[in-house]
Amino acid sequence: MAHKQISCFPILLFLVLSLTHLGTPFPSAYSQLDYYFYDQSCPRLQMIVKYGVWAAISNETRIAASLLRLHFHDCFVNGCDGSILLDDTNDFKGEKNALPNRNSARGFEVIESIKADVERACPSTVSCADILALAAREAVVLSGGPFWSVPLGRRDGLTASQKAANENLPGPFEPLENITAKFISKGLDIKDVVVLSGAHTIGFAQCFTFKNRLFNFKGSGKPDPRLDSSSLTNLQSMCPNKDASNTNLAPLDSPSPYTFDNSYYTSLVSNSGLLESDQALMGDSTAAALVNSYTYMAYLFNSDFAASMVKMGNVGVLTGKNGQIRKKCGSVN
Ligand code: HEM
Ligand SMILES: *[C@@H]1O[C@H](CO)[C@@H](O)[C@H](O)[C@H]1NC(C)=O
Ligand SMILES: *[C@@H]1O[C@H](CO)[C@@H](O)[C@H](O)[C@H]1NC(C)=O
């Protein structure tokens, strides 16, 4: 009897350990990263990041959007390796000054300040790439969006590439096929394009990123015929037809620019998408069907967004002994 109980123990232990992992999405598909990576080495990590993002949002609401975008722009260039955070050096031109980022990407100081807090609690332990992935999640949660567990264990890159940033990041004037091709080259798909474009439910764009739609669309001398007329009037007043308005800001999701919800998709259905690349989702039947479903199934958008963020956060990650754990996010050690 006693012998039987003892021999059962390893099996029970195994069952208990497997059960504790059941609640996490995609336990095996993303095996390079680990949900529990810093549980022993930096147990307060998630609290520190959460507080840092909360404090930054209390100071400026828009920073939530900026942090979410920063993670995306990190992942699409050399993978999610914190390369976007690096300043220019003698060896390389950094990504901060690439066309899609210059005078546009924001939130660097927030990540650097959270990193300093994390270094005080757990020196040389947590990568900047992981802090950025966690900050993006907190930004979404604090804006009213979904929570997801962030797989961790990314290491920081040793270099950055301005050229790759110019080539790999999608632009607002690109057709959907080109944008989709860029996502596919990162192991993502058309569904991820639709779902992750939903990030434009928060944040702002400068007028020059869509002004071509307001006055002289493709040389027609007329506005983009796909743009709803009341949105057009509204945008023309925010972005008058002169160069001085180029850096004025317009909300990507005008009904609720600070709330992570599904109204971005509702606007696309009513031809009120801000960027040409946003509205272009309605020009593809697969994409448009998804857009439609998200307008009446907010919960589906939330769970799909969480899943696509985990997927994006896994792009080209450095793990194990690759890369390093930076001491400061702006420079390699
Ligand atoms: C699908 C292709 C995409 C294109 C063409 C695109 C383009 C843009 C552009 C042009 C802006 C305005 C930048 C400025 O005026 O300074 C912007 C802002 C933003 N993008 Fe995207 N984006 C795309 C996908 C994404 C994805 C995948 C995410 C995140 C998962 C994202 C998150 C954001 C956010 C949150 C903002 C607002 C940032 C702020 O207010 O600081 N975008 N995007
Ligand atoms: C607060 O937000 C402003 C922009 O609105 C920014 O310039 C400033 O650096 C922020 N301060 C802190 C402490 O984050
Ligand atoms: C789209 O991709 C094609 C093929 O790579 C390229 O020739 C074209 O210039 C791209 N269009 C834009 C607007 O970037």
CA of 80 to the centre of ligand 2 (A): 25
Residue 156, amino acid: D
CA of 271 to the centre of ligand 1 (A): 18
Would you give the end-to-end CA distance of the chain in angstroms?
Answer: 59
pLDDT digits (tens, 9 = 90+) for 186-207: 999 999 999 999 999 999 999 9
Collect all residues with Cβ–Cβ distance below 8 Å to 111 and sequence separation of at least 6.
Answer: 67, 70, 85, 128, 131, 132, 135, 329
Collect all residues with Cβ–Cβ distance below 8 Å to 242 and sequence separation of at least 6.
Answer: none
Cα–Cα distance for residue pair 103/237, rounded to 1 Å: 23
Going by alpha carbons, the residue nearest to atom 4 of ligand 3 is 178
- Asked whether residue 320 carries a pLDDT value surpassing 80, the answer given is yes
CA 71 from centroid of its chain's CA atoms: 5
Cα–Cα distance for residue pair 167/161, rounded to 1 Å: 10
pLDDT digits (tens, 9 = 90+) for 65-80: 999 999 999 999 999 9
The answer to whether residues 105 and 130 touch, using CB atoms and an 8 Å cutoff, is no
Residue 21, amino acid: H
The predicted model scores a pTM of 0.92
Residues in the chain: 333
- Of the chain, the percentage scoring pLDDT greater than 70 comes to 91
Task: State if residue 144 touches ligand 1 by the CB under 6 angstroms criterion.
Answer: no
Task: State if residue 202 touches ligand 2 by the CB under 6 angstroms criterion.
Answer: no
Q: What is the pLDDT of residue 97?
A: 97
Helices (H), the chain: 2-20, 45-59, 63-75, 108-121, 128-142, 162-168, 176-184, 190-197, 229-238, 263-269, 276-279, 285-296, 298-312
Task: State if residue 202 touches ligand 1 by the CB under 6 angstroms criterion.
Answer: yes
Task: State if residue 182 touches ligand 3 by the CB under 6 angstroms criterion.
Answer: no
- Asked whether residue 228 carries a pLDDT value surpassing 60, the answer given is yes
71 is catalytic: no
Structural domains of the chain ordered from first start: 45-169 (1.10.520.10), 176-309 (1.10.420.10)
Cα–Cα distance for residue pair 150/50, rounded to 1 Å: 13
pLDDT digits (tens, 9 = 90+) for 98-118: 999 999 999 999 999 999 999
